[in-house]
Chains A and B, each alone.
Chain A
Amino acid sequence: MKKSIVMSLLLLLALAQYIVAEAGFPRHVDPSLVSETPNLSDIFTLLHLSTMYLAELNIGKATNITSALREASVPQQFRDLFNRTLQLYTYFTSEIGMSINYTDSAREALQHNDFAKCSSLIDIAQRHLYNAEVTYFQLRDVLNYFTSAGLAGVIRGILGNMEKVLSITKSRVVEVLEELNEKKSFSLKDVAIELQVNTTKVLYGDFIEVVGSVRNLHGAPLENRTIAIYYSTSAKWYVKSNATGFFKIAIPVKACGNVTIFAAFIPQGPDVNVYRYVESSVNIVSTCIEPAIRIFIPQPLLVGVNSSMCIESSVQNIKVSVTSKDLGLYRQLELYNYSTCTTFSVPTNISEGVYRISVASEPRKGVPPKALHIYVNVTRLDTNVDIEYPGIILAGVLQALCITTSQKALLTVVTPVEIKSIGVPRNVKTCIAIGVPISYLNTKMNLEISVNPLNASYRPRVVNVSLQVLNLALLLPSAFLIAFAVIITTPVHSRSSVKARSIAMSVQRRFEALHRVLSPIAKEFTDVVKALSGIEIEAHMTLREYVGKALSKVPSEVREPLLNALKITERILYGLPTHVEELVKKLKEVLSRIARVLKS
């Protein structure tokens, strides 16, 4: 049965293949067999074209392209993102268009000198421009998602064009705004401000009465208008004009020398489009005696020690405040006789370093305030510490650690197993017992020895010490075990002992070989010495002893070359095994020179 089904299927397959092959329609394709073609780059190229038109302010063409793109076939996975892109871009285009339209209308209104209309229109244009800017940033974020689809270049172009159109639109708006302000300033009316003061000579800190009036050019008083009074300081005082246009205010003079007091009419509300900003001024002279302040503090300041501080001023009867937040210093001093002194102590919790102390004098009539800062160095004294500790700590055995300090102090010793604290008297050797239990397995013990002087003027010290630990309880069994293992394994692994023996023999052979190389040289040298002196070398002699003995019987002209030859031979025999060949060659040369001398 199975064979029958297989046969029938084969026949059908052959037939179907033939029919399908013949049934092709060259210019028509079954749409169900066609896969979706990605066309994002074409779509974005078109969007880029639209932005190019937009950058030329051809809103119509840009919008047409955008409308066409709305129905473009976009691959499924990008459809939502593209719709959002198009939505934002359409909004951007529309806002740019609105901004341009309103700017044009504002310009038209400006040509007809309708400033109020122009102003409101340009406001709307600015609002639309702002919306466009916000939309641009939103769109930039959305477009970033497309960069992964290989569209980075075209997206850069799109954003570039959008930035360009934003800039153009902005410049148009700014142009109209500037023109509006310029025209407005030409058409605004002046006001007249009269200004007087009750005196032109004052002392620093005196109040001065400023009186004046504000009127239009026809002399009519301007009621309930705001007048700002100010001089060189940043402070401003505001006063309102009354029904007759007058205003009056008393202001303190806190400036020195020639002071110009201004009264400024500031148009507000409907006045903005009617009156111009106008100001009037009057000069007065303010007399000041500036104090010269000096501060004397000994340096460096010791922590916890009372220090004196003196302040000197060129003006008497002034109050001075001395402050330092970091040092916790706050003093109010009165300088009745040009100077005063006080003491203060640097708190013990202050760390060493440089701190600022500020001195400020309070103003009084005719005397302006004065401030100065000085920097003081706060420090502590050194504590001398002498520590004696054992070189090796035996585990399980307590050993003494002794310390001598130059100050009464609290000694804290931190070991890996405990923390010990004791008081240490001044210049007296004090010992504490330290140790580790047998269970301590490390070979080293780190100690942290802290010496904290009870007098805060002295600097604490911390000494770190590392001690060797010897744990006999572990060492002895280990040694026993190793020895036991050696004894046990030696007879069992006879082959390895044979191997060890063979290695020793090979080393021996190597030395012998080296000796064979070297001995002829030594023999040659001793032969030469023997030939020169007639003395035989003895068994216990070194070469140097032999040459020393023979030297007296050797002709004087060869003594130096012989000593030279001895040095070379010693270097060959006992020196490093480098450059041996070179040395042998050199020795032979020296020996042959000796032989030549002898012959001659």
Chain B
Amino acid sequence: MKLWLSIALGILLAFVITSIIAYLVPSADDLSPENPLWNGLTKLVSYTNATVIAYPNVNRLSASSSTLFIIGLARNLSSSEIENLKAFVENGGALVLASEKRELNSVLKGLGLGVAVNGSLVADRLFFYKSPLFPQARASIAQHNLTLYLNYASHLSAYGKGKCMAYTSPFSFEDLNMNGARDSEELYGPFCIAYAEPVGKGVVYVVSDSSIFINSMIDLSSNKLFATLLTQGRRVYIAYEQDAETLYVAFRSSVMGFYRTAFGSELRYFTAIVIGIAVYKALKVLLKGAITKH
């Protein structure tokens, strides 16, 4: 076989495979409701029958019958977006904010909640799943005693009128240097992991770990039940926006753009001619090689 044909067929095969991947895996972004990989939220969407919306669309929701999840907080929200959230809760909506990053504190402050994300990593060498950095927490919600498995979680400093719903064990500790072992200056728990505070007619739930809900964690122990209990049987929405164009997104949009351009625009006639010539050339070479061999 000629070299140019080998290269051409190789590129074609790679393109076909990547196209299949791009078709099957719509997103590889962390905490993306479209990401079916370990760090996505497709299972949460499926279990709660959730609808994905953008932040500006929050004010369109029917607050009294909706539960809104904001998981991982992709970007800093503007004051108007925070106001929208506040209005949603005050009108009877249930808001679930889950993040281990301190960036969430501006939203919490904007909502007037007496709680803040500490930002330090919580570890537990006695009660954990596989590793001390996957500590257990005990929650008590609606007469259910739950055991939650966390994944590189932080903890909450609560000082408001709300109530802490989930605690880590007394043997947990702040793992400041993230070595999985407790050093002398690292404080012992128990730490508050989930907090609920009523705001207006609604309620805000704050969880200091976004990854309780990711695909690889939601099926562990009571994590799924915890998510279901937070929905309170309401219609579930997940507010999500792509914060920045990641490589996979760029790659996928390029692949999709190519197909749209090649087969969806006027270029499709040219594409058909090119494919026809390519198939002819390839068949000619292949058949010629087969006849010569024979």
Q: Closest Cβ of chain A: how far from B10's Cβ, in Å?
A: 3
Interface set of B (CB-CB < 8 Å, partner A): 1, 3, 6-7, 9-14, 17-18, 28, 30, 37-39, 100, 121, 125-134, 136, 151-152, 169-171, 180, 210-211, 214, 216-217, 220, 246-248, 251
Q: Are B10 and A8 in contact (CB under 8 A)?
A: yes
Q: Are A7 and B11 in contact (CB under 8 A)?
A: yes
Given contacts A7-B14, A42-B125, A73-B129, contact A31 B9 (CB under 8 A): no
Q: Which listed segment binds B: A15-23, A277-285, A457-465, A482-490?
A: A15-23
Q: Closest Cβ of chain A: how far from B12's Cβ, in Å?
A: 8
The answer for the CA separation of A277 and B240 in the assembled complex, in Å, is 92
A498 touches B (CB below 8 Å): no
Set B7, B127, B151: member contacting A29, Cβ < 8 A = B151
Q: Closest Cβ of chain B: how far from A77's Cβ, in Å?
A: 14
A7: B residues at CB distance < 8 A: 6-7, 9-11, 13-14
B246: A residues at CB distance < 8 A: 22-23
Set B10, B30, B129, B251: member contacting A25, Cβ < 8 A = B30
The answer for the CA separation of A225 and B214 in the assembled complex, in Å, is 85
A5 touches B (CB below 8 Å): yes
Q: Are A37 and B127 in contact (CB under 8 A)?
A: no
B133: A residues at CB distance < 8 A: 29
Set B12, B17, B125, B247: member contacting A39, Cβ < 8 A = B125
The answer for the CA separation of A68 and B6 in the assembled complex, in Å, is 65
Q: Are A18 and B247 in contact (CB under 8 A)?
A: yes
A6: B residues at CB distance < 8 A: 10
Given contacts A8-B14, A23-B28, contact A35 B130 (CB under 8 A): yes
Set B10, B125, B134: member contacting A31, Cβ < 8 A = B134
Q: Are A68 and B130 in contact (CB under 8 A)?
A: no
Q: Closest Cβ of chain A: how far from B176's Cβ, in Å?
A: 14
Q: Are B126 and A15 in contact (CB under 8 A)?
A: no
If A23-B37, A34-B130, A72-B127 are given as contacts, then 9 extra A-B residue pairs at C-beta distance below 8 Å, sorted by A number, are: A8-B14, A12-B18, A19-B248, A23-B39, A28-B39, A30-B216, A31-B217, A37-B131, A73-B136
The answer for the CA separation of A417 and B28 in the assembled complex, in Å, is 96
A3: B residues at CB distance < 8 A: 1, 3, 6-7, 10
Q: Are B126 and A32 in contact (CB under 8 A)?
A: no
A538 touches B (CB below 8 Å): no
B132: A residues at CB distance < 8 A: 37, 39
Q: Are B152 and A4 in contact (CB under 8 A)?
A: no
A39: B residues at CB distance < 8 A: 125-126, 128, 132
Q: Closest Cβ of chain A: how far from B257's Cβ, in Å?
A: 17
Q: Are A19 and B251 in contact (CB under 8 A)?
A: yes
Set B28, B170, B220: member contacting A68, Cβ < 8 A = B170
Q: Are A12 and B128 in contact (CB under 8 A)?
A: no
SS of A interface (majority) = helix
**Quick one: which of A1-59 are within 8 Å of B by CB?**
1, 3-9, 11-12, 15, 18-19, 22-23, 25, 27-32, 34-37, 39, 42-43, 46
| A/B interface sample: 11 pairs, CB < 8 A | A3-B6, A12-B14, A12-B17, A22-B248, A28-B151, A30-B39, A31-B38, A32-B216, A35-B131, A37-B125, A39-B126
Q: Closest Cβ of chain B: how far from A18's Cβ, in Å?
A: 6
Q: Are B130 and A42 in contact (CB under 8 A)?
A: no
The answer for the CA separation of A3 and B7 in the assembled complex, in Å, is 8
Q: Are A11 and B14 in contact (CB under 8 A)?
A: yes
Closest to B25 in A: A19
B211: A residues at CB distance < 8 A: 28
Q: Are A28 and B30 in contact (CB under 8 A)?
A: yes
Given contacts A5-B10, A19-B28, A37-B180, contact A31 B169 (CB under 8 A): no
Set B38, B121, B251: member contacting A15, Cβ < 8 A = B251
The answer for the CA separation of A25 and B35 in the assembled complex, in Å, is 14
B170: A residues at CB distance < 8 A: 68
The answer for the CA separation of A25 and B30 in the assembled complex, in Å, is 7
A11: B residues at CB distance < 8 A: 10-11, 14
A71 touches B (CB below 8 Å): yes
The answer for the CA separation of A42 and B182 in the assembled complex, in Å, is 10
A521: B residues at CB distance < 8 A: none
The answer for the CA separation of A516 and B24 in the assembled complex, in Å, is 110
Q: Closest Cβ of chain B: how far from A397's Cβ, in Å?
A: 92
B12: A residues at CB distance < 8 A: 4, 8
Q: Closest Cβ of chain B: how far from A389's Cβ, in Å?
A: 88
The answer for the CA separation of A68 and B126 in the assembled complex, in Å, is 9
Set A1, A22, A37: member contacting B130, Cβ < 8 A = A37
The answer for the CA separation of A25 and B131 in the assembled complex, in Å, is 17
A228 touches B (CB below 8 Å): no
Q: Closest Cβ of chain A: how far from B206's Cβ, in Å?
A: 17
Q: Closest Cβ of chain B: how far from A8's Cβ, in Å?
A: 4
Set A4, A12, A23: member contacting B9, Cβ < 8 A = A4
A208: B residues at CB distance < 8 A: none
Q: Closest Cβ of chain A: how far from B281's Cβ, in Å?
A: 15
B1: A residues at CB distance < 8 A: 1, 3
**Quick one: which of A63-108 are within 8 Å of B by CB?**
68-69, 71-73
Q: Closest Cβ of chain A: how far from B22's Cβ, in Å?
A: 11
Closest to A32 in B: B216
Closest to A43 in B: B126
Closest to B128 in A: A73
Closest to B248 in A: A19
The answer for the CA separation of A15 and B252 in the assembled complex, in Å, is 12
Q: Are A68 and B169 in contact (CB under 8 A)?
A: yes
Q: Closest Cβ of chain B: how far from A50's Cβ, in Å?
A: 12
Interface centre among A15, A27, A43, A69 (most CB of B within 10 A): A27
B152: A residues at CB distance < 8 A: 27-29
Q: Are A34 and B131 in contact (CB under 8 A)?
A: yes
Given contacts A4-B10, A19-B251, contact A25 B39 (CB under 8 A): yes
Closest to A39 in B: B125
Given contacts A15-B251, A22-B246, A25-B30, contact A72 B14 (CB under 8 A): no
The answer for the CA separation of A101 and B7 in the assembled complex, in Å, is 86
Q: Closest Cβ of chain A: how far from B23's Cβ, in Å?
A: 15
The answer for the CA separation of A1 and B286 in the assembled complex, in Å, is 10
Q: Closest Cβ of chain A: how far from B278's Cβ, in Å?
A: 14
Given contacts A7-B14, A8-B11, A42-B125, contact A27 B100 (CB under 8 A): yes
Q: Are B151 and A31 in contact (CB under 8 A)?
A: yes
Q: Closest Cβ of chain A: how far from B197's Cβ, in Å?
A: 25
Given contacts A8-B11, A22-B248, contact A71 B127 (CB under 8 A): yes
Q: Are A36 and B130 in contact (CB under 8 A)?
A: yes
Q: Closest Cβ of chain B: how far from A9's Cβ, in Å?
A: 8
B130: A residues at CB distance < 8 A: 31, 34-37, 73
Q: Are A46 and B126 in contact (CB under 8 A)?
A: yes
The answer for the CA separation of A42 and B210 in the assembled complex, in Å, is 28
Q: Closest Cβ of chain A: how far from B37's Cβ, in Å?
A: 8
Q: Are B127 and A15 in contact (CB under 8 A)?
A: no
A73: B residues at CB distance < 8 A: 126-130, 136
A37: B residues at CB distance < 8 A: 125, 128, 130-132, 180
B37: A residues at CB distance < 8 A: 23
